[in-house]
Amino acid sequence: MNLTVGLQHFLVVAALLFGLGVLCLLTRRHVVGILMGIELILNAANVNLVAFSHYGGNMGGQVFAIFVIALAAAEAAVALAILLAIFQTLKSSDVEEMATLKQ
Amino acid sequence: MTVFDIAFYILAVITLGSGAVVALSRNIVHSAFSLLGTFLGVAGLYVLLSADFMAAAQLLVYVGGVMVLILFAVMLTNRIGEVELTNTSKGILPGLLLCGAMAVILAYTVATTSWETVAEPAYRSTAALLGEAFLRQYLLPFEVLSVLLLAVLIGAVVVATKELKSEEEPG
């Protein structure tokens, strides 16, 4: 792979960021840590979309990416509202303690 | 190595380095602030990809909105008096192996596929093109998105508000 930046370079950055996001999502105990992993994953997907939009000459990738940004912000707001509601009852933000549906 | 290449590598290092701190740091506040670095790096990558509106939207929404939300949540959900804000992770080594393998396979696949690309990618302002796309081709998803944002606004307030319990009159 040559050093002159092309489409593949952006896609590799997005793939590595996706891997870091999945790692964050899987290994964290704090709920906000898991949400940060989700944000990393969504940003990686966005970089992918915008890179294909630029190098493919199509605006659809950027339109999709704007929808992803809006939905990610909405989902972060709702998830953090739920976390605050749970914290008022449980006084803890550890996912290990939020297992009350388990038998 | 043009300036474009150097800028790309610097931004890629910023983005991936901040992402690594987010994923691997033991302190949740360090992770939250590194997420800011990741968002800024991604905004820079959007500028390199001639997506000027996307970069501005990323800064406004992610850095100015989601980042503030996450910091609020981190600060509000810590027990008062707990000085050290820790976030221990469980099973980091199997996680690293699994995610590392997945990321390597993904990156290798992506780097060795011959993608069909335009010969000369255009560097132009995209705000007008996006506006046209939103009001012509993608009008229905745009309207549905505004309804969804209204629902999210109301829903988040309803979920997070503490209910005031009314006093019961005795006997």
The total domain count for chain B is 2
Residue at a domain's end among B57, B83, B109: B83
Asked whether residue B19 falls in the same domain as residue B69, the answer is yes
CATH label of the domain that carries residue A34: 1.10.287.3510
Q: Is residue A101 part of a domain?
A: no
Contact B87 A33 (CB under 8 A): yes
Q: Is residue B101 part of a domain?
A: no
Q: Is residue A96 part of a domain?
A: no
Query: Complex ipTM, two decimals?
Result: 0.92
Q: Is residue B114 part of a domain?
A: no
The total domain count for chain A is 1
Chain B contact set for A1 (CB, 8 A): 111
> Contact at 8 Å (CB) between A77 and B152?
yes
Asked whether residue B73 falls in the same domain as residue B130, the answer is no
Asked whether residue B79 falls in the same domain as residue B130, the answer is no
Contact A30 B87 (CB under 8 A): yes
Q: Is residue A98 part of a domain?
A: no
pLDDT at residue B169 greater than cutoff 80: no
| Cβ burial, residue B19 (10 Å; 0-12/13-18/19+) | buried
Q: How far apart are CA B27 and CA B71, in angstroms?
A: 13
Q: How far apart are CA B82 and CA B74, in angstroms?
A: 13
Contact B77 A93 (CB under 8 A): yes
Asked whether residue B79 falls in the same domain as residue B4, the answer is yes
The domain in which residue A54 lies consists of: 9-91
Torsion angles phi and psi, residue B86, rounded to 5? -100, 160
Q: Is residue A58 part of a domain?
A: yes
- State residue B161's pLDDT score: 84
Residue at a domain's end among B83, B101, B136: B83
DSSP code of B62? I
- Give percent of chain B with pLDDT exceeding 70: 88
Greatest mean pLDDT among B71-75, B117-121, B150-154: B150-154
The domain in which residue B151 lies consists of: 124-161
Q: Is residue A100 part of a domain?
A: no
pLDDT at residue B121 greater than cutoff 60: yes
pLDDT in tens, A26-81: 999 889 999 999 999 999 999 999 999 999 988 999 999 999 999 999 999 999 99
